[in-house]
Amino acid sequence: MALKVGMLTSGGDAQGLNSTMRGVSRALWNDDPETKIFGFLNGYYGLMHSSYRHMHDYDFSGILTLGGTILGTSRQPFKIVNDPLYDDQPEGITRLEAMIQTYNDLSLDALVVLGGGGTQKTANLLSLGGCNIIHLPKTIDNDLSGTDLTFGFQSAVNIATEVIDGIHTTATSHGRVFIVELMGNRVGWLALHAGVASGADVILIPEIPYNPIKVVQALQVREKEKKRFSIIAIAEGAKSIEEVNMDEDELKEYRKNTHSVAYHLQNQLEELMIQEIRVCVPGHFQRGGTPSAFDRILTTKLGVEAANAVIEGDFGKMIGVAGQKMIRVPLQEIAGNTKRVSLDDPVILAARKMGVFFGD
C-alpha cells in the first residue's frame, strides 16, 4: 500500500526549505509514484488545525532556487505538554493532542518536519506521542546538536559576508569604525564565519564575553598602525563581561536605551574613543533570498536521506551531517541541546593567528 507522508516547515524561515522538500518528495515518488504527500500550512499551526493541501509533483517543480517556504511557516511555542490551545479549539485538548489527532485522523505513515531547535523539541514530543517523525535541521544559526551543519547556515554566511564586504569601501573612505550586527540567536557561528570570510578586524560572539576597554585598545592599535578603518562583526547574542551574568530582565534594563547589541556597543565605544563609529544591521535580509549552491546540494542530500528513512521505517530521527556523510540521530538524544562555538574551534584558532581580536 502506498505511503501517506506529511510535511511541514516550522519556526523562522531560511534558505533551503523548498529545496529540501523537493528532495524528500522526489525521492519518495521515485520509490513509489503512488505515495501521497500532505503539506501542512504554516507549520505546526496547520497540524493543530488540520490545515493542509495534497501535494503533487508540479508543486515541487522550479523551487530548487526559491527562498522561503511554499507551505508557509509560523512559531507555535508551548513550554509544557498541557499548554492549552487557542480559544477556537475544543475545551480540554492540548496543542500536542491536537497535532497527534490530526496525524491519526489522516492515517499518516510518517511526518517530515523541517525546522530549528524549538521545532525539534516539538518533533520529539510528537515522536514520544506515537507519531513516526523525521526531523530535518534548518536554521541559519547552525546551533543544532548532532549535526555538523544545518541548512540555511551557509547561505546566510554568504549574505553576511557580502554585507561586510560592501561596508569595507565606505569604512575606508571615511576612516570610520563600522559595527555590523549579525544574526545567530544565542550562538556565534554566523558572526564567526562571516567575520573571518570578510576580513573583520574584531569578532564578538556570545561564547566569548567581550571587554569594551580591550576592544577600544585593539582599535587604537590599528589607528596607530595607520589603518584608516576597522570592522567589528558582532553576533546579536554577544555580551560584555559586565552583562554575562545578568538575567534577561537585568540585561533588558541595562540596554533599555539602545535598539540592539550593536548600538549598545557603539555607545560603549563612543565614551572611550574619538573615531567615528557607525552601525549596520542587515537583519532578516540574512535569511532571505535564494539558497547558495552549497545549500542546494546539502538540502538535496538531506531530503533524499529523509525519504530513505521514511521508506525504511527508521523514525524518531534527525537527519544530520557528519563530515561528508548523512547520519540519523535519535531525537531523544539531542532535542533541546544547543551546539555552541567551542573556544578551540579551528576557525577561532586560525583567526587569532591572523590577528583577529575577539574582545577578550
Residues 81 and 214 in one domain: no
Scored b (16 or more CB within 10 A) or e, 50-62 reads: eebeebeeebbee
Q: Quick check: is 65 in a domain?
A: yes
Residues 59 and 139 in one domain: yes
Residues 122 and 78 in one domain: yes
Q: Which domain holds residue 208?
A: 155-287
CATH number for the domain spanning 113: value is 3.40.50.450
Q: Number of C-alpha atoms within 13 angstroms, CB side, residue 67?
A: 17
Residues 38 and 129 in one domain: yes
Do residues 154 and 292 lie in contact, with contact meaning Cβ atoms separated by under 8 Å?
yes
Angle at which helices 189-198 and 346-353 cross, to 10°: 40
Residues 116 and 159 in one domain: no
Q: Quick check: is 340 in a domain?
A: no
Q: Quick check: is 35 in a domain?
A: yes
Please identify every residue annotated as catalytic.
141
Residues 144 and 256 in one domain: no
Q: pLDDT at position 327, please?
A: 98
β 325-330/317-322 pair status: antiparallel
Residues 124 and 23 in one domain: yes
Q: Quick check: is 355 in a domain?
A: no
Domain boundary among 287, 322, 349: 287
Give the total number of structural domains in the chain: 2
Q: Quick check: is 219 in a domain?
A: yes
Q: Quick check: is 344 in a domain?
A: no
pLDDT in tens, 178-230: 999 999 999 999 999 999 999 999 999 999 999 999 999 999 998 888 888 89
Residues 263 and 223 in one domain: yes
Q: What is the mean pLDDT of each run of 10 residues along the chain (360 residues)?
A: 94 93 97 97 94 96 93 71 46 82 97 96 96 97 97 97 93 86 96 97 97 93 87 95 88 81 91 87 90 97 98 98 96 95 97 95
Q: Quick check: is 339 in a domain?
A: no
Residues 238 and 215 in one domain: yes
Q: Quick check: is 142 in a domain?
A: yes
Q: pLDDT at position 125, please?
A: 95
Distances in Å between the Cα of 290 and the Cα atoms of 65, 182, 293, 296 are: 5, 19, 9, 9
